Chain A
Amino acid sequence: MLYLDNAATSFPKPQEVIDAITIALNAPASPGRSGHKPALEASRVVYRARKAIAKLFGIGNLERVAFTPNITWAINIALGGIGLKAYDHVLSSALEHNSTARPLALLAEKNIITWETVAPGPDGLLRAEDFASKLKPNTRLVVLCHGSNVTGALAPAKAIKEAIGEVPILLDLAQTAGAMPLEDLGSWADIITFTGHKGLLGPTGTGGLYLKEGIGFQPLAVGGTGSRSESLSQPDFLPDALEAGTLNTHGLAGLAAGVNYLLEKGLDKVREHELNLVSVFLEDISKISKLSILGPGPGILQRVSTVSLNIEGWSSSDLAGALEAEYGIMTRSGLHCSPLAHKAMGTFPGGAVRFSFGLFNTLEEARLAAKALEELSKRKTARKKS
């Protein structure tokens, strides 16, 4: 099997992650809920995960990092808590995943916000000046998918923040956390949302958000926190306000191990490796005549290691099916939960086939995937089942 679906979830996970989860599963306690030693150790597991995330993003105040079951939950918390009120203007890229696009669409449908998107150029890249030019006096938030899960285009997040000034920016790091050094974010980002199971190499069921001092918050769910137990009201301080119910301690043990693995390896080295993989792949497939690449092509480094493409004469689902059936290559076809991005790139509703490389892929595998595409491009359609 050649797994090239790391944008969906990373595979394999380092042994350190598996070991950390196993150790946590053998501990008989819930974090922050009792005073005995195993409970304290469970609390330390969560604390270490918080510290690892804070280190990864250069966050000074640990209490501003809250854990959630996934990034969708984190984005919903952020959008619900920032205090958007009638007809506030929200700007986002036109490359947003449904984790962001659906909550924004719902807020717009309820007439709570007006929502406008900024389209990428023909090369798939977003430009900071396009965000600045769409700002209105009532723009209350800019939402930005840092790395497109469809085209792999990397948004110029810091330049966009500089261009929008005081307007808070919400960063969706689903495709970039763990893929590159991001330790400067804590110094300028207003809201960071992340998932644990992709580039951070942790298990599913982990994610979270960071809110800069001064950014408002409201819980999406209320309940037990282990703090202020005498009160029927949710604690009004972070992270407890946003962490109702028992946290996924086992998952967070794995997340901390994943982040620490990456920090030890060096995010600059991870970035270099993944850029090498995608560069080789892009270079090889650019020679295939019937093949079209969505977004940034060969030579453009403003990207992550995700490439979506189509081959003339093939539907995306048939192509992904043939890659798996004939070459054992796992990709993802269709719309990738990002109809907006496919509309922006002109591939809606047919979608595309997405190749997403990860830390443990090799250059040989990138070449092998390109070779498979070259062979399939010479055929008009999938082989009939015998």
Chain B
Amino acid sequence: MAEENGEIILVFASNTIILEVEELLEEKELPFVLIPVPKEVNPNCGLAVSFLEEDKDPILRELDRANLWPQSSYLRKGDDFRDYPVSRI
């Protein structure tokens, strides 16, 4: 049985950065969605950036280039959330 594809969730310090990320990733036509920050990982009431694990490389590369780096990052598989440290390129 193939392993379930995970979803990466990035939490940023401020709403302003989230919107800068949104603008950048839309401009680069990279696949992502903005979601409410999952309460399982962070009590903030704002938004997080979410995308499939398989799409992470180009997205993280663009974020690194633009110096828009998350405060924390997680991998979600179903109901399971775990820390997913991402490193700058």
Contacts and interface: CB of A to CB of B under 8 A. Distances in A.
Interface of A: 31-36, 40, 43-44, 47, 50, 62-63, 226-230, 235, 237, 239-240
Interface of B: 13-20, 23, 34-37, 43-47
Nearest to B42: A230
Nearest to B19: A47
B16 A63 contact: yes
Contacts of A228: 44
Counting from the closest, the 9 A-B pairs by CB-CB distance are: A35-B36, A32-B15, A47-B19, A230-B43, A229-B45, A240-B14, A226-B46, A229-B44, A63-B16
B14 A63 contact: yes
Contacts, number: 57
Determine the main DSSP class of B at the interface with A: mixed
A240 to B, nearest CB: 5
Nearest to B17: A63
Contacts of A230: 43-44
B13 A227 contact: yes
A240 B16 CA distance: 9
A327 to B, nearest CB: 48
A248 to B, nearest CB: 16
B20 A62 contact: yes
A229 B16 contact: no
A62 B45 contact: no
Contacts of B23: 47
Contacts of B37: 35
Contacts of B43: 229-230
A227 B19 contact: no
Contacts of A240: 13-16
Contacts of B44: 226-230
A34 B45 contact: yes
A13 B15 CA distance: 29
B15 to A, nearest CB: 4
A51 to B, nearest CB: 8
A35 B47 contact: yes
Contacts of A36: 36
A62 B36 contact: no
